[in-house]
Amino acid sequence: MSHSSPASSEITFVQHHDDGTFKKTVRKVTIILSVVTIIELLCGLAIFKLGHGSHVAVLMIKGLVTILSLAKAFYITSYFMHLGDEIRNFIMTIIVPLLLFVWFIAAFLIDGNSWRTMKNTEAGSKPAPTEQVEKGVAPGAEK
């Protein structure tokens, strides 16, 4: 079977996977993605059964689901999008800027948490305990 030529004369080499290796890799990654998704769904079911309080078990399951999602993201980009086949210099220009997300997520979630703490003080907009249900206002709903 003929292979395609490089899309541009500026490309030094083209990564070709033979059909056997390719099929094996795709099968492996598909199975990994499906199994991880099923585990995530089981975690979601566990959260449902445990109730939605913020107790430690639920928080830990949520952390686990987040890590599993990051694993799925790795398999999709590395194998399906073939980022793993690119040269290292290029991979770094994609991965390093994404590290900004570490600050981005941490800073804004901490900010949201601090906002809630301030709202719940007497100086904030803390509703009186009996007021909520009588007026039909959800606790924490914006006024």
Partner 1 sequence: MSSAAIPAGTKWWSGGKSPFNLSYGKMMMWYFLMSDAFTFGAFLIAYGTTRFSANYWPDPNHVFDSAPFIHGGAPLVFVSIMTFILIVSSVTMVLAVHEGHNMNRKGVEKYMLWTILGGLAFLGCQAWEWTHLLTGENAVLVNGEIVEMATTVKVNPWGDVVPGMMHNGHQVTTPGPVAFGGFFFGITGFHGFHVLSGVVINIIMYIKTRLGHFDQRGHYEMIEKAGLYWHFVDLVWVFVFLCFYLI
Binding characters for partner 1, 37-76, by CB under 8 A (x = yes): x--xx-xxx-xx---x---------x--xx--x--xx--x
Question: How far is the C-alpha of 93 from the C-alpha of 8, rounded, in Å?
Answer: 21
Q: Would you count residue 130 as binding partner 1 (CB under 8 A)? A: no
Using CB under 8 A, which residues numbered 3 to 42 contact partner 1?
3-8, 10-13, 15-17, 19, 22, 26, 30, 33-34, 37, 40-41
Q: Which residue in the set 28, 55, 104, 131 belongs to the binding site for partner 1 (CB under 8 A)?
A: 104
Q: Which residue in the set 55, 60, 115, 131 belongs to the binding site for partner 1 (CB under 8 A)?
A: 115
